[in-house]
Structure 1
Amino acid sequence: MNRVVVIGAGQAGSSLVAGLRKEGFDGEITLVGAEQALPYQRPPLSKGYLLGEMDLDRLYLRPDRFYEEQNIALKLGRQVTGIDPVARTITFEEETLAYDQLALTTGSHPRRLPDTMGGGLAGVHVLRNLADVDGLMPYVSRGAKALIVGGGYIGLEAAAVCAKCGVEVTLLEAADRILQRVAAPQTSDYFRALHKNHGVDLREGVGLERLAGAEGKVTAAVLSDKSELCIDFVIVGIGVDPTTQLAEMANLEIDNGVRTDAFGRTSDAAIWAAGDCASFPFNGERIRLESVPNAIEHAETVAKNMLGADREYVAKPWFWSDQYDVKLQIAGLNNGYDQVVSRRGEGLTTSFWYYRKEHLIAVEAMNDPRAYMVGKRLIDGGKNADPVLVEDLNTDLKQLLKM
């Protein structure tokens, strides 16, 4: 193997090419990205960067000189138009690039409102990349009126940043409660109270019927309960989908993302996938994880396997969210939970412990790093925690690790 091409210059792509060099690969490496910018962190975009607390240079995962020193060719601002798995080439508009092994780290993309609902009006935004946030910045000013569509973590984080900037925020969640798809009612209650205490007009069980505008710019929203809002801008946070178009054109198997085996290999032996775009085996099922830790760890494992390591990727899911002065840390996956135990400390310090058939599967910790740390170590080690002890504030959580 002499030529590796990686499509997707985000967290996973940058980690994968760095991993190849770290493991001793001395052949050609080309990293291809649709954006002009160097690979950068995405989470701070809608937080520190939007708030003006983080400069662009601090977003970059690695400086330009790293790629030069590691002899990694960057093709940025380039859109791949196709993959030929037989010829083992990728094509741009006017160029063809050959590979011996190819890795897809194409990530995911935000769902948008259709034009029939006013999604094409100026002032309607999503939050995914640098251009999205740069385009939003002029709208975020004290006294402006914002509509956030979607009460998942994307929408809630956007609402928190806007509220901190003095924007009047209305957040819509069409489901019965915020975070309904990803968390227990206890978590919904916690964050509902948090946002209302910061002045957010949070409306659950209410969807968006359509947006209205004047001279091509959004000015109003008609809601499913027939009420109307005057607004200056909209942030759409209704989820993301894996970016699989190139994989589909190459006739790779798709299953909630680019389907891979436990090693990161796709249905084509010369093509691999890692990060948000890839689905992989996990505890007897198939999952796809949208998180920075997964992007890094998955990509580093795939880099090793491209060089013959044959190491299965064993995911250890963990996530975080920052809203106002609350840091939420999540360990594990709560799929199929049937019991939630609450451990409430002082002020905003709280943790929720998820069980399935009396076995601990996930922990959500708000401003409680100890609960998160203990929960993560228990879950990663396949250990359990007695719900009675967890709920008792007299229990030293670290003692659970010794049981």
Structure 2
Amino acid sequence: MTGRLVVVGASYAGTQLAFSARDHGFAGEVVMLGEEARMPYQRPPLSKAYLQGKMAPPAMLLRAEAAFRRAAIELRLGERAVAINRAAREVVLADGRRLAYTKLALTTGARVRRLSVSGQNLAGIHHLRDMGDADALAAAAATARRAVVIGGGFIGLEVAASLRTLGLEVVVVEPLDRLLKRCFPPLLSDWTLALHRRHGVDVRLGATVAAILGDAGRVCGVHLGSGDEIAGDLVVVGVGVDANDELARDAGLRTDRGIVVDAHGMTSDPSIAAAGDCTARLDLEGSQPGGGLIRIQSVQNATEQARAAGATLAGTPTLHLVQPWFWSDQYDAKFQMVGHGSPDDEIVLRGDPESGKFSLFHFRDRRLVAVDSVGAIRDHMTARKLLAHGTELAAHQAGDAGIDLESFCRAASR
């Protein structure tokens, strides 16, 4: 296929999509637009190894610059797309220039949510989404004594662990009655809470932020809905992200809390694909109670979805039906999750939480749908195979540490 493929967005999804299109025979021009002036880089380490100073920028690159040259992928960094003219098949850039396309891919990612409270614009309030954010937070942490982290989700907890490792006093403020309530069952929420408290983090559950307090234009603490005040010279807000779907919506593409795509990564326009955190896709696997559209925010999902979308744009229709998997590092604990779990699933424990090595198997209608593992890498890898093959597994078998679950995978592959 010839013509010009324009990829808007230069992170995991954009990079993978461009290379996938090349790998599947797209012979025309490939142009990737990135708002940041940096080469495409890894994002998960930003809240962990990079923030702690254990990983340098060169090690963060997704691919070397030479790899883009070899694949004849033109990187245009520091350029922002502001509109799409579908009739003319053009992308409008911030400086007014227009870039024609034959095929278009939107990999625009997501943006952090902001608090709407008094004091939200004080100096010393940080969010974490890109390397610039991480650099600013690391610099602030070098002189801060006490941090208040608003939000007990993955980003908030990873940042809390990193700041605590750097020697700061840390308070986590979470409005729900347990950590990661929307994705963890109670046992795992409780274990995570104990992990952070064991490392000296003050976790306040069921607490809301009514205002951020300041002194001479700089943050000095937070005021809770309960009336309590928490002192802090550094505040990190981690209350979720929203899809960057405005370009698509303004161009008339179907959106619903994200750019709606099918199992090939294609939008409602047959010449436009989308992949990564900016998308919402149909729940073809029936993995979530009630079905409908699902949004998955993970590196693995962005990469696999982009691989399928790039191939499809190049003329090789490819399905993206891979089970999602996720991970999180907090202190010395490695969390690994696969599948679409729900706190309402039947939960079966395998292993001993006291040992720091255990897994929680999620069953729904007697079917294995997800597995959450902590320090149990073998369980996680086996679970990915079990779910990929749709292997039948009974709840009592999952919970019996004496049963070799790998044998079920071998039997399914025969």
Q: Which of 129-138 and 375-384 deviates more?
A: 375-384
Matched with 1:253 is 254
Q: Relative to 1, partners in 2 of residues 1:396 and 1:198: Cα closer, same or farther, differing over 3 Å?
A: same
Q: Relative to 1, partners in 2 of residues 1:227 and 1:336: Cα closer, same or farther, differing over 3 Å?
A: closer
Matched with 2:309 is 302
- The answer on whether the counterparts of 2:213 and 2:219 sit within 8 Å (CA) in structure 1 is yes
Q: Relative to 1, partners in 2 of residues 1:142 and 1:380: Cα closer, same or farther, differing over 3 Å?
A: farther
Q: In the TM superposition, what is the alpha-carbon distance from 1:142 to its structure 2 partner? A: 7.5
Q: Relative to 1, partners in 2 of residues 1:88 and 1:254: Cα closer, same or farther, differing over 3 Å?
A: same
- List aligned pairs for 1:244-393, cutoff 5 A: 244-282=245-283, 283-284=285-286, 285=291, 286-335=293-342, 337-345=344-352, 347-393=355-401
Matched with 1:88 is 89
SS in structure 1 at match of 2:50: coil
- List aligned pairs for 1:4-403, cutoff 5 A: 4-92=5-93, 93-114=95-116, 116-141=117-142, 144-282=145-283, 283-284=285-286, 285=291, 286-335=293-342, 337-345=344-352, 347-401=355-409, 402=411
Q: In the TM superposition, what is the alpha-carbon distance from 1:344 to its structure 2 partner? A: 2.6
SS in structure 1 at match of 2:355: coil
In structure 2, give the amino acid aligned to 1:38.
M
Offset from partner CA, 1:93-124 (integer Å, 9 cap, x none) = 2311100110000011111113x432211111
SS in structure 1 at match of 2:183: coil
Q: Relative to 1, partners in 2 of residues 1:310 and 1:21: Cα closer, same or farther, differing over 3 Å?
A: closer
- The answer on whether the counterparts of 2:185 and 2:343 sit within 8 Å (CA) in structure 1 is no
Supply the distance in 1 between the matched residues of 2:61 and 2:139 (Cα, whole angstroms). Answer: 23
- The answer on whether the counterparts of 1:13 and 1:31 sit within 8 Å (CA) in structure 2 is yes
Supply the distance in 1 between the matched residues of 2:296 and 2:345 (Cα, whole angstroms). Answer: 22
Q: In the TM superposition, what is the alpha-carbon distance from 1:311 to its structure 2 partner? A: 2.1
Q: Which of 173-182 and 381-390 deviates more?
A: 381-390
- The answer on whether the counterparts of 2:8 and 2:14 sit within 8 Å (CA) in structure 1 is yes
Supply the distance in 2 between the matched residues of 1:61 and 1:154 (Cα, whole angstroms). Answer: 21
Q: In the TM superposition, what is the alpha-carbon distance from 1:335 to its structure 2 partner? A: 3.6
- The answer on whether the counterparts of 1:41 and 1:60 sit within 8 Å (CA) in structure 2 is yes
- The answer on whether the counterparts of 1:139 and 1:232 sit within 8 Å (CA) in structure 2 is no
Supply the distance in 2 between the matched residues of 1:376 and 1:73 (Cα, whole angstroms). Answer: 36
TM-score by length of 1: 0.96
In structure 2, give the amino acid aligned to 1:226.
G
Q: Which of 309-318 and 240-249 deviates more?
A: 309-318
- The answer on whether the counterparts of 2:31 and 2:74 sit within 8 Å (CA) in structure 1 is yes
Q: Which of 280-289 and 160-169 deviates more?
A: 280-289
Supply the distance in 2 between the matched residues of 1:336 and 1:210 (Cα, whole angstroms). Answer: 31
In structure 1, give the amino acid aligned to 2:387.
I
Structure 1 unaligned segments of length 5 or more: list them.
none
Q: In the TM superposition, what is the alpha-carbon distance from 1:67 to its structure 2 partner? A: 1.7
TM-score by length of 2: 0.94
Q: In the TM superposition, what is the alpha-carbon distance from 1:138 to its structure 2 partner? A: 1.5
Supply the distance in 2 between the matched residues of 1:10 and 1:263 (Cα, whole angstroms). Answer: 19
Q: In the TM superposition, what is the alpha-carbon distance from 1:363 to its structure 2 partner? A: 0.3
Sequence identity, in percent? 39
- The answer on whether the counterparts of 2:148 and 2:221 sit within 8 Å (CA) in structure 1 is no
Q: Which of 15-24 and 363-372 deviates more?
A: 15-24
| CA root-mean-square deviation | 1.5
Supply the distance in 2 between the matched residues of 1:233 and 1:253 (Cα, whole angstroms). Answer: 40
Supply the distance in 1 between the matched residues of 2:83 and 2:188 (Cα, whole angstroms). Answer: 43
- The answer on whether the counterparts of 1:337 and 1:354 sit within 8 Å (CA) in structure 2 is no
Supply the distance in 1 between the matched residues of 2:144 and 2:258 (Cα, whole angstroms). Answer: 41
SS in structure 2 at match of 1:275: coil
Structure 2 unaligned segments of length 5 or more: list them.
none
Runs of 4+ in structure 1 over 6 Å off: none
Supply the distance in 2 between the matched residues of 1:354 and 1:289 (Cα, whole angstroms). Answer: 18
